[in-house]
Amino acid sequence: MLDTSQKRYRLRIVIPAYPAFNIYSRIAKRTTALGPVCVATAVNEMERWDVEVIDENNLGRYGPRSESGGADHKFLQQQRPTDVVGFYGGLTSTIPRLYQIARFYKDKGVVTVAGGQHFVQDNIAEALSSGIDYVVIGEGEETIKELLQAIEGKLNVSEIKGIAYLKNGEIILTPKREPLIDFDTLPLPDFSLVRCAKIKIHPVERIRGCGMDCEFCTVKGRPRCAGPERLLESIASLVETRGAKHFFIVDDLFGQQRDETIRFCNMLRDYQRSIGRKLVTTVQIRLDKAKDLELLSAMRQAGISAVAIGFESPIEEELEAMNKHVRSEDMLSLTKVFHKFGFWVHGMFIFGYPMGENVNFKMPAAERVKRFRNFIRKAKIDTVQILLPVPLPGTKLRHRLERQNRIYPNHDIGWEYYDGSFPLFEADEPMSAEDMQRSARKIMGHFYRFRYLFFVALNILAFPSLIFFLHNIRRGWRRWHRSWRNHLIRFGGWITIRKWTSEFKKDAFSRKLQKAKRHLITKAGYA
């Protein structure tokens, strides 16, 4: 319990640093996670509580940095002592860092709380033995307020739904808390609570949940929607108070509740006209939404310029294994529609997805690479992201691979490798784990090259050619800008891949992988 003689208390929410440089590192310096901001905003309305968010991946210019990476929490605790610290466990690869910081604060007598997608039932015991006092299960806006009241001594912790904690060495799981439905009762996310960070891209949301039930995804359940008015209010507030221009709508599937989505697009279009400012928005959307021309038209009029699409794979058998509701033969024509409407297309792929039981499908790594390259070239995707399958805690994919005894033991290959860059299970024959990793890097390395630096220079030299588009200057600008932007990003991607490769060579993953393989064979009884 807290010292009730204090006039005010402080909650610090920490977003742990990535374990190493990866493809997300560059963008992470320009944005932050929305969930911790929502939780912090809810607490900020409580009497006697101050709250701050520290994003270790975005410490801006003045954030206190530790020599070993992340924030200097010793300095933070000396400068602004906190009574309770919360941890964002939304990314499994950051969990080792999360536990490291939790132990530091627990040794200082600070109450520690953690929540996020990582903390499914299988990992609760791990958390409670790693410096965490309370685990919040599910959404945290309401739970955290009740938990802080209990820590103050105003509530009985056993009466709070949706938490786990230790009592006399035994894990106590309280009844499940129902998901939030009425989002209008929540305050708008307050990004000023994120200290030190330099946020250029603001994440916003309207819909939580996704009904597509992809095997590898942690986001499940019936979509729960706020009204378009709330999303517009979030954007308008950020424009008017922070001068925000770039937004990322984090809904897993933009376009759910179609009519309301179109209404939002029309509202956003009218808002931009009223303030005389053009905003830049990116959304995540399914490929088959290309069939809805009215939706795409409304999106373009609203200033939505880029779409992130989970293509996942151009191989039909892999799409079926993922439980994706799209056919590979339709993917090229649907992508063409997005380009026709002027969207920049960011393609997200998973290489080497494991087949289900009793599926007789074998394809060499070289043939898979060829299929991926050909599809990316024919689809004319602007930017790509190739990840390896990640058997995240709580997913159907992890449960299936565990039944098949294919996941490498956690004591050999820990959570820090769960970022999509490393093989985490025995690959389908005839591939090996090493084949999977090399192949994904080969596809990315072919797409992002040093030579695109010269194309950037050529684009600059070609700028005067816009004179030939005086009859349609907008069309000419779009063609030139798309080419210049893509070449610049592809050169930047080459820098990112080169840096990642350099970091990988310093890491002991290859040795750990061989050890994990031996342990997996022993466990299966084949040694």
In a domain, 31, yes or no: yes
In a domain, 2, yes or no: no
pLDDT at 54: 98
Asked if residue 96 has a cis previous peptide bond (ω within 30° of 0), the answer is no
End position of a domain, from candidates 154, 173, 192: 173
Q: Same structural domain for residues 434 and 472?
A: no
pLDDT at 328: 81
Predicted confidence (pLDDT) at residue 62 exceeds the cutoff of 80: yes
End position of a domain, from candidates 447, 477, 508: 447
Q: Same structural domain for residues 287 and 153?
A: no
Specify whether the CB–CB gap between 128 and 172 falls below 8 A: no
Give per-residue pLDDT as tens, 122-140. 899 999 999 999 999 999 9
**CA distance linking residue 455 with residue 333, whole number of Å:** 28
Q: What is the CATH number of the domain that holds 408?
A: 3.20.20.70
pLDDT at 476: 59
For the record, the structure tokens of 206 come out as 């309207």
Contacts of 399 (CB under 8 A, 6+ apart): none
Predicted confidence (pLDDT) at residue 324 exceeds the cutoff of 90: no
Q: Same structural domain for residues 247 and 388?
A: yes
Predicted confidence (pLDDT) at residue 462 exceeds the cutoff of 80: no
Predicted confidence (pLDDT) at residue 470 exceeds the cutoff of 70: no
Give the CA count within 13 Å in the CB-facing half-sphere of 19. 22
Question: 1 falls in which pLDDT band (50, 70, 90)?
Answer: low
* Residues facing residue 477 across a β-bridge: none
**CA distance linking residue 66 with residue 495, whole number of Å:** 25
Question: 83 falls in which pLDDT band (50, 70, 90)?
Answer: very high
Which one is predicted more confidently, 468 or 70?
Answer: 70
Q: What is the CATH number of the domain that holds 47?
A: 3.40.50.280
pLDDT at 98: 98
Q: Same structural domain for residues 167 and 249?
A: no
Q: Which amino acid is at 478?
A: R
Contacts of 312 (CB under 8 A, 6+ apart): 318, 319, 322, 324, 348, 349, 350, 353
**CA distance linking residue 410 with residue 404, whole number of Å:** 16
In a domain, 1, yes or no: no
Q: Same structural domain for residues 404 and 475?
A: no
For the record, the structure tokens of 4 come out as 């009730």
**CA distance linking residue 203 with residue 231, whole number of Å:** 11
b/e 279-297 (16+ beta carbons within 10 angstroms → b):
bebbbbbbbebbebeebbe
Which one is predicted more confidently, 521 or 181?
Answer: 181
pLDDT at 473: 58
For the record, the structure tokens of 460 come out as 């600059």
In a domain, 213, yes or no: yes
Predicted confidence (pLDDT) at residue 520 exceeds the cutoff of 80: yes
Predicted confidence (pLDDT) at residue 404 exceeds the cutoff of 70: yes
Q: Please state, as a whole number, how many other Cβ atoms lie within 10 Å of the Cβ of residue 58.
A: 22
Mean pLDDT in residue range 32-48: 96
Predicted confidence (pLDDT) at residue 359 exceeds the cutoff of 70: yes
Q: Which range (90-94, 274-278, 442-446, 501-505) has the least confidence? A: 501-505
pLDDT at 329: 81
Most confident option among 219-233, 317-331, 414-428: 414-428
Mean pLDDT in residue range 429-458: 91
Q: Which helix (H) or strand (E) holds 55?
A: strand 49-55
**CA distance linking residue 242 with residue 63, whole number of Å:** 19
In a domain, 437, yes or no: yes
User: Phi and psi for 198 in degrees, rounded to 5?
Assistant: -105, 100
Question: 220 falls in which pLDDT band (50, 70, 90)?
Answer: confident
Supply the DSSP symbol for 18: P
Q: Same structural domain for residues 398 and 457?
A: no
Q: Rounded to two decimals, what is the model's pTM?
A: 0.92
Mean pLDDT in residue range 144-171: 96
Q: Please state, as a whole number, how many other Cβ atoms lie within 10 Å of the Cβ of residue 65.
A: 15
For the record, the structure tokens of 256 come out as 């759910």
Q: Same structural domain for residues 169 and 205?
A: no
For the record, the structure tokens of 68 come out as 């070993």
CA torsion sign for 61, 67, 73, 74 is: negative
pLDDT at 506: 86
pLDDT at 527: 43
Q: Same structural domain for residues 402 and 349?
A: yes
- Bridge-based pairing state of the strands 163-167 and 134-136: antiparallel
State the alpha helices, DSSP H only, in 71-129. Answer: 73-79, 95-107, 124-128
**CA distance linking residue 268 with residue 273, whole number of Å:** 9
Q: Same structural domain for residues 459 and 422?
A: no
End-to-end CA distance of the chain: 52
Domain that holds residue 43: 9-173
Q: Same structural domain for residues 314 and 457?
A: no
Instruction: Give the per-residue SS3 of 173-232.
Output: ECCCCCCCCCHHHCCCCCHHHECCCCCCEEEECCEECCCCCCCCCCCCCCCEECCHHHHH
**CA distance linking residue 148 with residue 155, whole number of Å:** 9
Q: Same structural domain for residues 148 and 217?
A: no
Mean pLDDT in residue range 270-299: 96
End position of a domain, from candidates 420, 447, 474: 447
Give the CA count within 13 Å in the CB-facing half-sphere of 162. 19
pLDDT at 472: 55
Q: Which residue is it, tokens 């709380």?
A: 113
Mean pLDDT in residue range 328-348: 94
Count of structural domains, the chain = 3
In a domain, 189, yes or no: no
Average pLDDT, the chain: 91
In a domain, 187, yes or no: no
**Percentage of residues of the chain with pLDDT beyond 70:** 95
**CA distance linking residue 249 with residue 306, whole number of Å:** 11
pLDDT at 286: 92
**CA distance linking residue 107 with residue 116, whole number of Å:** 23
Whose CA is closest to 162, among 180, 181, 143? 143
In a domain, 184, yes or no: no
Q: Same structural domain for residues 214 and 359?
A: yes
CA distances to 47, 392, 424, 437, 476 from 443, rounded to whole Å, are 53, 23, 19, 10, 31
pLDDT at 483: 82
